[in-house]
Amino acid sequence: MTTPVRKLIAGNWKMNGLGVDLLETERLSKALTAEPAHCRVALCPPATLIERMVRELKGGPVEIGGQDCRAEASGAFTGDISAEMLRDAGAHLVILGHSERRTLHHETDVDVAAKVGAALRAALEPVICVGETLAQRKSGDALSVVVRQLRESLPALLAGHRFAVAYEPVWAIGSGLTPTLAEIEEMHRAIRETLEASFAGSGAPILYGGSVKPDNAAQILAVKEVGGALVGGASLKAADFLEIIRAA
Ligand code: PEP
């Protein structure tokens, strides 16, 4: 099995953040610049802030990403944003298939796979999210659900490209609940085996996401095959996010 060397800690701001919040980001960037770069750090603000964040953090260690994109490059899709537009704004990554998109916007694995293709077309690194619901975990179906989601959300054309997978149990997002470390390890192992079967040697990091906080980050990030974290709420405050980064 291939374990990636540098972990990726990515913050998902969701629909939070105004221009004034870039002060926090600058603080984060300054603090990280003064430290050895032991892991990759990314922030995914709302689309309205991407260009400003890119400009203000230019030359620093924080990579910037989008939170979603549409599969098409352009067209009559009011309110949507394409991978090319994210790239044009200076983004280098994009979160795809987040459970909030899958639930609130009814995105299917087929939709997610098409968006992954769009991300590659625009030279963005996709961070592809998968995860089971609480009912699926309780019924003992978590592994099979996540492996199926993963197989169907990853197009074959990913081979040879840089990408990451984020395992985010739906019930752990924003709830303060997390799986046990053994459950995280079991799921990450299953994801690694699935990736190896289709994209042998890619070394794609497998992030854990769902209520990662300063006080549980070190334990979670030390689990075998956990190649980083996707952090929601705790990425909004530079001090908390910094603690998580330092735990990697
Ligand atoms: C997320 O939404 O990707 C997430 C992990 O959120 P939180 O850290 O707030 O649970």
pLDDT digits (tens, 9 = 90+) for 165-202: 999 999 999 999 999 999 999 999 999 999 999 888 78
Q: How far is CA 37 from CA 61, 70, 108, 126, 219, in A?
A: 8, 32, 36, 22, 20
**Alpha-helix runs per DSSP H in the chain:** 22-33, 47-56, 83-88, 99-104, 109-121, 134-138, 142-153, 181-199, 217-221, 238-246
Active site residue 98: yes
Strand-pairing partners, residue 126, are 94
Q: What is the assigned CATH class of domain 8-247? A: alpha beta
Residue 45 CB neighbours (<10 A): 27
Are the CB atoms for 228 and 203 separated by under 8 Å? no
The token pair at 177 is 């609940």
Output the pLDDT for position 201: 77
203-218 pLDDT, tens per residue? 999 999 999 999 999 9
Report residue 114 as tokens.
């098409």
Query: pLDDT at position 5, please?
Result: 66
- Mean pLDDT confidence for 104-119: 98
26: buried, middle or exposed (CB in 10 Å: 19+, 13-18, 0-12)? middle
Residue linked to tokens 């001090």: 239
| Cα→Cα distances 69→74, 84, 93, 142, Å | 11, 9, 11, 27
Contacts of 41 by beta carbon, 8 Å cutoff, 6+ apart: 8, 9, 10, 28, 32, 61, 62, 63, 245
Tell me which of 1 and 125 has the higher pLDDT.
125
Which residues have a Cβ under 8 Å from the Cβ of 114 and sit 6 or more positions away?
Answer: 71, 155
Please give the pLDDT value at position 214.
Answer: 98
| Region 60-87 average pLDDT | 98
**Ligand 1 atom, smallest distance to 166 CA:** 3
Q: Mind listing the pLDDT tens digit for each residue in 75-108?
A: 999 999 999 999 999 999 999 999 999 999 999 9
Residues 6+ apart with CB under 8 A from 120: 126, 157, 158, 161
Ligand 1 centroid, distance to 75 Cα (angstroms):
31
In this structure, are residues 10 and 43 in contact, taking their beta carbons and an 8 Å threshold?
yes
Q: What is the pLDDT of residue 17?
A: 97
How do residues 126-140 score in pLDDT, each as one tens digit? 999 999 999 999 999
Helix/strand/coil for 153: helix
Q: Does residue 212's CB lie within 6 angstroms of at least one atom of ligand 1? A: yes
Annotated catalytic, 225? no
With a 6 A CB cut-off, is 131 part of the ligand 1 pocket?
no
- How many CB atoms sit inside 10 A of residue 212's CB? 28
Q: Looking at ligand 1, which residue's alpha carbon is closest to its atom 8? A: 232
Shortest CA distance to 100 belongs to which of 184, 166, 195, 27?
166
169 lines ligand 1 (CB under 6 A): no
Answer whether 224's CB lies under 8 Å from 185's CB.
yes
- Of 16, 184, 211, the one to substitute when testing ligand 1's pocket (max ligand atoms within 8 A of C-beta) is 211
pLDDT at 3 over 80: no
pLDDT, tens digit, for every residue of 15-53?
999 999 999 999 999 999 999 899 999 999 999 999 999
